[in-house]
Amino acid sequence: MINISGTMEEFGARKHWMDDRRLVWHEIVQIGKDRKRGDLLAAERFAKAQFKNLYGDWPRWNFADAPAVIPRPVVVNKVKQQVISYAKSKFGRRVL
């Protein structure tokens, strides 16, 4: 048995960057607007889906009321990871 000093953290615990749901919603809205390049309906669907994937429920805030913010890299990376995961599950490996 090995004794190591330090603190234990719960594996799979919610990340601190996820604590402020409203801020994360505003960041996801901005990411959606950037990805969909002017198609606001598609951007709204994208943002709502990403939020639901993160938290398991729909956002309580209106898409149109979200202010323009610069998304934090951790949120951008999480959304990218979710998009890649979706693409792999939907399309998988295709043999040509």
pLDDT tens digits for range 61-86: 999 999 999 999 999 999 999 999 98
Contacts of 68 (CB under 8 A, 6+ apart): 30
Burial environment of residue 23 by CB neighbours within 10 A (0 to 12, 13 to 18, 19 or more): middle
If one counts every other C-beta atom within 10 angstroms of the C-beta of residue 85, the result is: 11
The alpha carbon dihedral of 68, 73, 74, 76 has a sign of positive
This prediction has a pTM of: 0.78
- pLDDT band of 90, cuts 50, 70, 90: confident
DSSP tag of 34: H
- Residue 66, both tokens: 């979200």
